[in-house]
């Protein structure tokens, strides 16, 4: 029999709970605020999303690995023999993600399952993993599901909503899609181990209106990282390093065993691609399909990861500025200059106490997730910035709050630190701020500062290196991804080729997070790949 233990933390006065068998309490207990909803999403489609493109443009000798082979044939996707206790939960999702409309004609159902907090070892402590399933009236009853994860970027359930709203919703006509929130984030045992001051200092990169210079921000940020690390370690011990990508992959493996199938298909978006690659390395024989959608850097040190993200997101913002100018948006003839000026005003305390880091987070999150076609997305983001530039800050403040809720929770911060390899020394930060600030004017300095967020946090087990993958891999790369950017895709594809994997890349020049969520061309490619196990030839989906 299990009981829920509830404890008050002396440090913060907050409550946490953990489901465990009846036993005497340990000296220290976990402060895991378990939210038991497992969100498994099955996506169907009816309306056009940003930058859809029905036709695939084939390109010769572009970015793929070895030529597709049909011998031996890839294993088939399987229909679950057992399933979660699903319940319809559209109203719950609208409460979780206010302002996000549920697309008509799609059913969203929630479920959950338990897994050991320390997969592979005996433990009386568990995490509750939440999932949402999306499906439509057109989804075949006997269709095998695809598992969707976006890792620590944003809750996987929110990525599923984007897919259901966007161009890639046609995937739901062939398969239910099950979104699994990464442990510690979303509704999967969300963590709450930092004080408000620690969390705010980490998210605004040490910003203060009293001293805006970078050395002062470095001091504040480093101190907040150390303090937050101490607090989270005290509250979560001995499990403070159990929120890694490897353990997130173990949660997907647990779902496979619940389903009683031999293999599963996984679509990893952004940082979720790291979870998918970890699964491929740790549970190779149980992988049936692998889709990597504009993957974040994988198995790289902290400095390389930061630089790739600064470069990729900076380029995506440049694409936004170019397209903004092309449609005569409200930012005028040179949107890039307006964005840079607004960030500089915020950095020096001239935007009513709003930090430059928060302005950038609001902008990148809006471009990444705003619904509608390309012109609508550009107009939404541009009007928010032009209003702020003129002194009307209400829309910007709302977007900042949404960005923090989606991308800045304690579980996301701690999980990112659990996955950090070879952290950058504090004495290197000043040089990187200057260097990256010159190379990537909109994103470089802030990304360099952000490397200090994990100051003092312990890291967990390293992810497996990319090795032999028994199935062909389908990869999408989105030039307009403002959360991770496309820079890491080439390195990951090179590692796949080096390991002997068959891979194929489809590029997309549109704006938004997840090519699969925005392009019906990508949706059709995913349907064909899920059916046959063979990805299409390398090429480009129209934007």
Measure the CA–CA gap between 148 and 293, rounded to whole angstroms.
10
Q: pLDDT, tens digit, for every residue of 488-536?
A: 999 999 999 999 999 999 999 999 999 999 999 999 999 999 999 999 9
Q: Report the SS3 class of residue 300.
A: coil
Cα–Cα nearest to 424, from 462, 395, 453: 453
Residue 213 structure tokens? 């210079």
In 3-state terms, what secondary structure has residue 253?
Answer: helix
SS3 132: strand
The DSSP call for residue 121 is S
- Residue pair 154/513 in contact by the 8 Å Cβ criterion: yes
| Angle (CA) 174 177 181, round 5° | 170
Q: What is the pLDDT of residues 434-448, one digit of tens each?
A: 999 999 999 999 999
* pTM confidence score: 0.89
Give the three-class secondary structure for 27. coil
Is there a contact between 80 and 176 (Cβ–Cβ < 8 Å)?
Answer: no
Per-residue tens of pLDDT for the chain, all 543 residues: 333 323 334 444 443 434 333 333 333 333 333 333 333 333 333 333 444 444 555 444 444 455 444 457 889 999 999 999 999 999 999 999 998 999 999 999 999 999 999 998 878 899 999 999 999 999 999 999 999 999 999 999 999 999 999 988 999 999 999 999 999 999 999 999 999 999 999 999 999 999 989 999 999 999 999 999 999 999 999 999 999 999 999 999 999 999 999 999 999 999 999 999 999 999 999 999 999 999 999 999 999 999 999 999 999 999 999 999 999 999 999 999 999 999 999 999 999 999 999 999 999 999 999 999 999 999 999 999 999 999 999 999 999 999 999 999 999 999 999 999 999 999 999 999 999 999 999 999 999 999 999 999 999 999 999 998 999 999 999 999 999 999 999 999 999 999 999 999 999 999 999 999 999 999 999 999 999 999 999 999 998
């Amino acid at each position: 029999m299990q009981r829920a233990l509830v404890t008050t933390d002396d440090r913060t006065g907050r409550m946490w709970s953990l489901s465990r068998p009846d036993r005497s309490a340990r000296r220290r207990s976990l402060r895991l605020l378990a939210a038991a909803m497992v969100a498994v999403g099955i996506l169907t489609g009816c309306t056009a999303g940003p930058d859809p493109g029905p036709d695939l443009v084939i390109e010769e000798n572009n970015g793929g690995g070895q030529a597709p082979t049909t011998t031996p044939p890839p294993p088939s996707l399987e229909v679950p023999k057992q399933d979660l206790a699903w319940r319809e939960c559209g109203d719950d999702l609208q409460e979780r993600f206010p302002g996000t409309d549920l697309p008509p004609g799609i059913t969203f159902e929630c479920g959950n399952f338990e897994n050991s907090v320390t997969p592979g070892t005996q433990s009386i402590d568990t995490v509750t993993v939440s999932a949402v399933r999306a499906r439509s009236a057109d989804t075949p009853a006997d269709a095998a599901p695809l598992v969707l994860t976006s890792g620590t970027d944003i809750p996987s359930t929110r990525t599923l909503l984007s897919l259901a709203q966007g161009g890639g919703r046609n995937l739901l006509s062939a398969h239910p899609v099950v979104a699994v929130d990464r442990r510690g984030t979303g509704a999967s045992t969300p963590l709450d181990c930092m004080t408000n001051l620690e969390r705010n200092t980490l998210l605004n990169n040490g910003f203060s209106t009293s001293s805006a210079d970078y050395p002062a921000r470095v001091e504040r940020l480093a101190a907040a990282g150390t303090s937050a690390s101490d607090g989270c370690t005290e509250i979560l011990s001995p499990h403070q390093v159990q929120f890694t990508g490897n353990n997130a992959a173990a949660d997907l493996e647990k779902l496979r065993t619940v389903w009683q199938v031999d293999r599963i298909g996984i679509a990893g978006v952004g940082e979720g691609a790291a979870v998918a690659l970890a699964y491929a390395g740790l549970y190779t024989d149980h992988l049936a399909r692998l889709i990597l959608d504009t993957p974040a850097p994988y198995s790289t040190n902290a400095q390389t990861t930061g630089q790739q993200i600064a470069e990729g997101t900076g380029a995506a913002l440049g694409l936004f500025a170019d397209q903004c100018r092309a449609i005569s948006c409200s930012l005028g003839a040179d949107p890039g200059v307006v964005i840079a000026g607004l960030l500089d005003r915020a950095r020096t305390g001239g935007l009513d106490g709003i930090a430059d880091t928060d302005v950038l987070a609001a902008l990148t999150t809006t471009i990444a997730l705003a619904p509608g076609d390309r012109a609508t997305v550009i107009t939404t983001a541009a009007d928010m910035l032009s209003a702020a530039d003129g002194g009307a800050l209400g829309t910007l403040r709302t977007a900042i709050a949404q960005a923090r809720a989606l991308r800045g929770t304690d579980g996301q911060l701690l999980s990112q630190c659990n996955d950090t390899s070879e952290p950058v020394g504090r004495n290197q930060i000043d040089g990187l701020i200057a260097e990256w600030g010159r190379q990537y004017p909109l994103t470089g300095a802030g990304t360099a500062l952000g490397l200090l967020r994990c100051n003092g946090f312990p890291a967990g087990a390293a992810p497996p290196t990319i090795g032999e993958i028994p199935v062909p891999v389908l990869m999408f790369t989105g030039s307009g991804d403002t959360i991770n950017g496309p820079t890491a895709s080439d390195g990951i594809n090179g590692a796949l080729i080096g390991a002997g994997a068959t891979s194929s890349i489809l590029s997309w020049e549109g704006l938004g997070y997840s090519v699969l969520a925005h392009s019906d061309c990508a949706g059709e490619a995913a349907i064909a790949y899920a059916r046959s196990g063979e990805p299409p030839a390398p090429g480009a989906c129209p934007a």
